[in-house]
Structure 1
């Protein structure tokens, strides 16, 4: 009995040292685990940085007429007509659905500075021929504000070089801008004026 009592007495003397050793082992274990925990955390922290990369270019698009919230909108690059209409709250009940179905290409990619005008029912029939041209009444015309290089290249006397010049001088509020901005000469303009539109 004395022997066992002396062992417990002996351990009692080293009680503090034993506790410190156990705590030390636990702290060392935590120290080894912490770098692994921190290693996995930075990944979410970089998500906002990658999101900012899409902010490189934005388009200003004027949406007017029979939409709920007509205004100039800042939209991301590669936006289409349908996105701009959606940003403006969609078509109102007064929008001319027949005109929209025939003339408004919702899948058309947009360029900076373009205007989308949605007429109300009966409005198209009451406007002048010049206004009809601006509204894009003839869907076969090439829109010089949104057409690609290859689409512009289909026009007479417009090769890739002139097509790029047309694109680089956008936007156009009227066909005459092609002459006033010195994009095309009078003779070339006369050859294509009946084949193009601005909206």
Structure 2
């Protein structure tokens, strides 16, 4: 994956198999689609929320953890920074094999974003959404990242039945917070996103 990003400099969207689309997630009228088209971001991620669901005051606030089960990265915008960030996270995975790549990636990101330009190992200033971070830092040394709308791209912390009601506008549902095939199927069925044909395989 890293090789494709660096060598081909493609923009890539990653999705876990338990993250299911209800409609086209890339429409320009949606947060992810409009943010991708803006060309302003190196990474657009889904928020990691806790039950019962999204809190309004968390949206666009820089998190300690995100959800890498569905996210966008730009391979061509700032390839040096992107390669460095993924290399750092791979190093964390190698050193902490007992944790999944999502935990390692976000733990690495939190450590790296605390570095100052004068610090050893500094490779980028981390600019989150429309914050005032990184003012005075040249653009080529800034990693721009932001969260997609969590009321459109819904985390499994939200009851799937509630995800079909206001204030949610379900575009995708990620069947997290449960383990195992049957539990994930149940969540996706509740969201109206399980195809019974899949259960026959």
Task: Report the TM-score, using the length of structure 2 for normalisation.
Answer: 0.26
- Asked which structure has the greater CA Rg, the reply is 1
> Greater helix share, 1 or 2?
1
Higher strand share: 2
